[in-house]
Amino acid sequence: MNPENFGAPARSPEIQSISKAPTAIRGLDVILKGGFPLGRTTIISGTAGTGKTVMAMEFLLRGALEGHAGLFISFEERAEDVRANASAMGMNPAVLEEQSKLKIIHAEVPADAVRTGDFDTRGLLAMIEGHANLMGAKRIVLDAVDFLMSIFEDPGRERAEISILLNRLRDLAMTTIFTVKAEPGGRKIYPFLDFMADCVLFLDQRVDEQVRTRRLNVLKYRGSDFLSNEHPYSLTPEGLVLLPIPSVLPGESSFKKRVSSGNDELDRIMGGGYFMGSCILLTGPSGIGKTSLACTFAQSAYNRGEKVLYVDFEVCLETLVGAMQSIGLDLNPALDSDSRLRVLTGMPESAGAQEHLIRIIDEMTRFSPQHLVVDAISACRRMGSGKTAFDLLLHLITECRAKGITCFFTNQIRNQEHLIQVSGLGISSMVDTIIALEYFLEDQRMNRRLMVIKSRGSDHSKDFYRLDLSDTGVSLSRDTGRGDWTLTPDKRT
Amino acid sequence: MDLDPGQKDVTMTNKSECSFDSPAQYHLVLFVAGDGLNSSIARQNLASLCENELAGRCRVNIVDVLEDFSAAAKNNILVTPTLLVCKPEPVVTIIGNLSDREKVRAALNLKEVKP
């Protein structure tokens, strides 16, 4: 023991993980910390329609594209149907079959077959081995193993045959995927299978407030670490997509550069403007001016040549453009060029949160904006369960933090108490700047005011400022009559 | 007779070892896996059947999937032994070692023979 190291913090040794076969399925290798166990058995279980076959086929297809030949044995569906279903999911097995990187085999016992004595699966094994050797395949999928087992009417026999199959595939060092149907509610038809496999995944789908959500669970992964939560997933035209929340919390970054809010007064209030790459939350009741402030920020950014992605869950594009024109803000020139401002609109109810998230993240990848605006995060509660808005926010913040993108979120609230909550869950620790807008009664008129509740890393004014919306835009002033601050409309450049 | 990948799957043409132009009344194809117990029993039972009740009117093919694994794939064979009764139509699939004589006969539409 070296005395010099004594005071040093302990470093946990790298866990020597087993060898893995990368799946190349989006997000899955992050959850499995590398992929499926190489040369071992993985079970994908789930109720009907959860995407077990899609996942298994995608594993083989993506592997085949990298040069790993794979064998797909279907016990339930015919080869043509397997091929057609894969094509419908945007995958093209026929080309790979021609290159002998993939083979699809249908092995069945017809329903009207006559049983006349004992039989076994030695023939199946011979067929598997023969084709695997011919193709040099080390990856194999056995789809609908429950179908295979139902042929043997004796439970003891079922186990025996599966064991023989599994052991032989293990001897051949084949990376084996079994798909198995589970009963709704997760009850296993063949519980012993889980013990035989090295890795078990469970796919679940449920309908939550009229929106379907799919979730993947890693139940077991012998010899390896994995992300253990339930992970939402989607079946998209490009295959299965998972967006796991990384296990590292978005840390507090040290922000250096400032960006203008688009309004000189607000910049002054903020001590110089917003921080580039930070997360700003603007909260307030309906109609108070959140969208106006969001667009004021966006316009000032794109006029400087920075790209803005504007996600609108509340209104359609025409309505947004029209509303902004009433405050003298014309979005059309930027929209026409499409290189500075891009707007994504859509009803929150139109899809699950996962699908919306994928759409936004994909657009961010394509467009590479410097800034992201989401108007309004509160509309996301219509995407399913109440927690959905929170999860979406968390994902977007994480994504933006990683890329240094400024996020600007609006949050519609009814009650002043819920200023810093989204669907009842506190988010103040996740955002860097919170600006609250509220109505107040003065001289029997409803007026608007703004206050910066919090701004991490910046000295900000703690006063209320009067907010006015006119056809020349947004303006802020200290309470009239005090004389210190005068009305200064924001400059249009 | 190879199965064309573009061909629509119809029950009868599924079994590519079957040929329909054989003059015999019965065309039977037995898929076995080497010399295993079930395979040996099936061979014996089939031989006995052909010598006795089907004498002179059956044509038999025996396919060992350990030697010809692609035949198994082409015919969607899952378990062994499997006996395909290609002719007369419709194609009947019989699985198992053929020990249950009554069932085999019933599947072949043979009248019961009193010993």
ipTM metric = 0.80
Residues of A within 8 A of B85 (CB-CB) are none
Residue B12 has pLDDT above 50, yes or no: no
Q: How many of the other CB atoms lie within 10 Å of CB of B57?
A: 11
Please say whether the beta carbons of A138 and A175 come within 8 A: yes
Predicted local distance difference test score (pLDDT) of residue B11: 33
> Could you tell me the sign of the dihedral formed by the alpha carbons of B71, B76, B80, B86, in that order?
negative
Distance from CA of B75 to the nearest CA of A (A): 8
pLDDT of residue A371: 96
CB A297 within 8 A of CB A373: yes
Spatial distance between the Cα atoms of A189 and A180, rounded to a whole number of angstroms: 9
For each of chain A's 493 residues, which pLDDT tens digit applies? Answer: 455 545 444 444 445 568 999 999 999 999 999 999 999 999 999 988 899 999 999 999 999 999 999 999 999 999 999 999 888 877 789 999 999 999 999 998 888 899 999 999 988 998 999 999 999 999 999 999 988 888 888 888 888 999 999 999 999 999 999 999 987 766 667 778 888 899 999 999 888 777 788 889 999 999 898 888 888 898 888 889 998 876 555 555 667 889 999 999 999 988 889 999 999 999 999 889 999 999 999 999 999 999 999 999 999 999 999 999 999 999 999 998 888 999 999 888 888 888 899 999 999 999 999 999 999 888 887 887 767 777 788 889 888 988 889 999 998 887 666 555 655 566 777 788 999 998 988 888 889 999 998 888 777 778 889 999 999 999 998 864 433 333 333 333 3
Closest CB to B9 among A80, A112, A114:
A80
Contact A122 B104 (CB under 8 A): no
Mutation site, B11, B31, B78, interface A, largest A CB count within 10 A: B78
Instruction: Provide, as residue numbers in chain A, all residues whose Cβ is less than 8 Å from the Cβ of B99.
Output: 116-118
Per DSSP, the residues of A242-299 read E-PPPSSPPP-PPP--EE--S-HHHHHHTTSSEETT-EEEEEE-TTSSHHHHHHHHHH
Strand-pair category, A465-470 with A488-489: unpaired
What are residue A234's phi and psi, to 5 degrees? -130, 150
Spatial neighbors of A135 by CB under 8 A, at least 6 apart, are A69, A71, A100, A101, A103
DSSP string, A192-214: HHHHH-SEEEEEEEEEETTEEEE
CB contact under 8 A, A116 and B9: no
Task: State the average pLDDT for chain A.
Answer: 85
Which residue has tokens 């012993």?
A: A192
Pairwise pLDDT comparison (A119 vs B11), residue with the higher score: A119
Mutate to test the interface with B, among A72, A116, A148, A161 (most CBs of B within 10 A): A116
A-chain CB neighbours of B70 within 8 Å are 130-131
* pLDDT tens track for A378-434: 888 788 776 777 778 888 988 898 888 999 999 888 766 655 565 556 677 778 899
Expressed in angstroms, the distance from the first to the final Cα of chain B is: 39
Please tell me the distance from the alpha carbon of residue A413 to that of residue A282, in angstroms, as a whole number: 10
Mutation target vs B (from A81, A114, A145; most B CBs, 10 A cutoff): A114
The answer to whether residue A154 neighbours chain B at the CB level (below 8 Å) is: no
Chain B CA closest to residue A130? B69
Paired sense of beta strands A445-455 and A433-442, if any: antiparallel
**A128: closest chain B residue by CA:** B69
How confident is the model at residue A418, as a pLDDT?
A: 57
Alpha carbons B70 and B66: distance in angstroms, whole number = 10
Rounded CA gap, A242 and A262, in Å?
Answer: 37
d(C-alpha B13, C-alpha B20), whole Å: 10
Global pTM?
0.78
* Whether A375 contacts A294, CB under 8 Å: yes
